[in-house]
A and B are shown apart, each in its own frame.
Chain A
Amino acid sequence: MKPTLSAKSRLCAAFLLAATVVAPLSADARNDAKKQVEFGISVAQRGLWREAIYRWERAAQIDPSYAAAHNNLAIAYEHEGELDKARIAYEKAIELEPGNAMIKQNYELFREINDRTTRTKDSQ
């Protein structure tokens, strides 16, 4: 019987410990964020967009890698006329899920409107 663990074994044990602690933590974060996102959707469907923004901002804070939270937040900002914030949120959502066709479609529709407002002026 060896009196102490080798360096390799210690590293392995640390990794296992980290995996068992961190994985449930991130799963918890996603679950919590998902609850916020779901609640946000239900209030947005009733027209309570400010409350929806609060919920989706919370979701994005809890789990910053949750693309749906950023996508929904972008839509809510768009609805409130906060176009700069909407653009940032859409770009974050696309960065997180570049292959998501729905996020891309939302962003394209947003850009159509945004381009209209930032159209080049002759003079001002």
Chain B
Amino acid sequence: MTGRLALKTASSVVAGLLIAGCASYFEIPIETPIKPKLDVSPFQRVLVAGFISGGSEDVDGNLETTRLLRSQLRTKSELRVIDADVLPLVTAATDSTGPERPAGEARPATDAKEPDIKDDKDLEPFEHLFADVEYWKKIGEEYQSPLIVTGTIMFTPQTRSGFVQREVEQFDSFGRRRVVPVRTYQERKGFRLKPKFVFIDGRTGTTLYSESFSEEILYNANQTTPALSSYFELMDRLIPSFLNTLSSQKVKGTRVLLQ
């Protein structure tokens, strides 16, 4: 009886394996179209107005971001990109009394020198500018009602120390190679990029959409990587998401079809 049961079990296992073995599958490449987050059909033109930036002095976050976004939009969006001087947003924010700032409260420094924006907190006194409908409406009129792209850019140096896992190649007494994970204490430095993109309707001056990001890159402390390289590396990660706000994108991938 037990022998018969064992035979039955074994045959069902073999049958199961045979069925599993017969099941075919096919890898297939696909391209998923992602719809834009924002309906830009009312606009023919886009103005990347400029950004309020802070953090590292090695990179001008305002100029670099404006240049980069304009060039990306020129090639990857159907909107016509307006070439114009970058707007002096810090001055504009300083000159206008924001709705969030009670009358009489001290304004950010109005010296000819740019204010020292070192972290997110330093950006706060300028944020009211993005809600200043009259200001943006005026800009919109000047450039024939485009879609306006603006926001804040915070690019700050980072230093971190702690244990990092890395893979090390080892050879045993027979000369066989193997890779083992090793945890080592490391001093690391790098940068964090925190942009906030604000999309404003140039016809009404109102904010249509805004999105914030945060990306970080860290290197071994002995490695010297220019700040500008790190900035572009981090922006490179964000650009697809930024572009997807205005235009449809295709994400390439592979899936498995089953029979």
Contacts and interface: CB of A to CB of B under 8 A. Distances in A.
Contacts of A117: 34-35, 37, 244
Given A113-B253, A121-B37, A123-B207, A41 B30 contact: no
A103 B258 CA distance: 9
Contact of A113 (B28, B210, B251, B256): B251
Interface in A76-90: 78-81, 83
Given A113-B251, A121-B37, A38 B259 contact: yes
Interface string B168-212: 000000000000000000000000000010000000000111111
B37 A79 contact: no
Contacts of A80: 33
Interface size range of chain A in the complex:
20 to 34
Nearest to B254: A109
Contacts of B28: 44-45, 75
B32 A78 contact: yes
Determine which residue in B25, B26, B196, B253 has the highest number of CB atoms from chain A within 10 A of its CB, and name it: B253
Determine which residue in B30, B31, B255 has the highest number of CB atoms from chain A within 10 A of its CB, and name it: B255
Contacts of A68: 257-259
B258 A67 contact: yes
Contacts of B251: 113
B241 interface: yes
A78 B256 CA distance: 12
Interface string B210-245: 111000000000000000000000000000010010
B151 to A, nearest CB: 10
B209 A41 contact: no
15 contacts: A34-B259, A37-B258, A67-B258, A68-B257, A72-B258, A79-B32, A81-B33, A81-B35, A83-B32, A106-B255, A116-B241, A117-B34, A121-B210, A122-B196, A124-B209
- Which 3 interchain pairs have the tightest Cβ spacing? A68-B258, A81-B33, A79-B30
Interface of A: 34, 37-38, 41, 44-45, 67-68, 71-72, 75, 78-81, 83, 100, 102-103, 105-106, 109-110, 113, 116-117, 119, 121-124
